[in-house]
């Protein structure tokens, strides 16, 4: 999910809304990430420094792999990327990523949602663009 910014308050809101209290969060030590503890999560810090060497840290290999996959999926799917639609691009990727082990159910779930979701005027769809 996209957060409003790298502030303690934004990370705290994200953690309370999106993280299970039993999860363990590992971060690179940016001060705002300490606020995941507001949601009851354990927080481990791995200081990596900065620059290209930090990005190659073994502790964050899968994080960097996932970020690369997100970027490739979005760029490979859409002809043009509009910053105002980034939350929707990320939401679509999140949906597919969270269901990657049950691909056979994706189309039936989409059909069910399409059949049970009432029509929505464009003006209401646009409200979601500002959601963080």
* pLDDT attached to residue 35: 94
- Alpha-carbon 22 to chain mean position: 19
Each residue's pLDDT tens digit, 55-90 = 778 888 888 888 888 888 878 877 777 777 778 888
Q: Which helix (H) or strand (E) holds 45?
A: strand 42-45
Each residue's pLDDT tens digit, 97-126 = 888 888 888 889 889 988 998 988 888 877
* pLDDT attached to residue 56: 79
């Amino acid at each position: 999910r996209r957060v409003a910014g790298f502030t303690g308050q934004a990370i705290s809101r994200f953690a309370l809304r999106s993280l299970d209290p039993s999860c363990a969060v590992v971060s690179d030590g940016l001060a705002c990430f300490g606020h995941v503890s507001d949601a009851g999560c354990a927080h481990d810090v791995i200081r990596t420094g900065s620059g290209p060497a930090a990005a190659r840290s073994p502790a964050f290999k899968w994080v960097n792999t996932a970020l690369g996959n997100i970027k490739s999926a979005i760029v490979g799917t859409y002809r043009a990327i509009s910053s105002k639609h980034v939350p929707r691009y990320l939401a679509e990727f999140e949906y597919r990523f969270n269901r990657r082990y049950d691909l056979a159910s994706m189309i039936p779930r989409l059909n069910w949602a399409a059949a049970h979701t009432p029509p929505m005027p464009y003006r209401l769809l646009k409200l979601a663009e500002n959601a963080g």
